[in-house]
């Protein structure tokens, strides 16, 4: 139980660091990297939390969170792959 709590705290601090990276970033890709890391760690954290509270039903939520995180990441990247290039070209002009 102690180990589970310790791992939970470690994952939480990793999530905090990833959010800090996303807030304090140079480029937009650094922000996306931080948010992506936050999302994958959240899925892990939900799974850990289910074991910590003795209710493994939380795993379904973790699966759904992992799915939504991946889809959202691909959608955001699709968006930025085209708009960021356009902005650069406009700046060059």
Residues that bind another protein (CB under 8 A): 3-4, 6-7, 10-11, 13-14, 17-18, 21, 26-27, 29-30, 32-34, 36-37, 40-41, 43-44, 47-48, 51, 56, 59-60, 62-63, 66-67, 70, 73-74, 77, 80-81, 84-85, 88
Give min distance, CB of 22 to another protein, in A.
10
Phi, psi at residue 74, to the nearest 5°? -65, -40
Tokens found for residue 80? 């930025």
**Taking the C-alpha atoms of 2, 8, 14 and 20 in order, what is their torsion angle to the nearest 10 degrees?**
-120
């Amino acid at each position: 139980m102690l180990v589970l709590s310790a791992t939970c705290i470690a994952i939480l601090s990793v999530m905090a660091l990833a959010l800090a990276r996303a807030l304090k970033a140079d480029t937009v890709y650094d922000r996306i990297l931080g948010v992506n890391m936050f999302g994958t760690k959240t899925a892990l954290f939900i799974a850990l939390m289910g074991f910590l509270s003795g209710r493994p039903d939380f795993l379904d939520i973790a699966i759904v969170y992992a799915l939504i995180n991946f889809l959202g990441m691909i959608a955001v990247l699709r968006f930025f792959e085209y708009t960021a290039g356009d902005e650069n070209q406009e700046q060059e002009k």
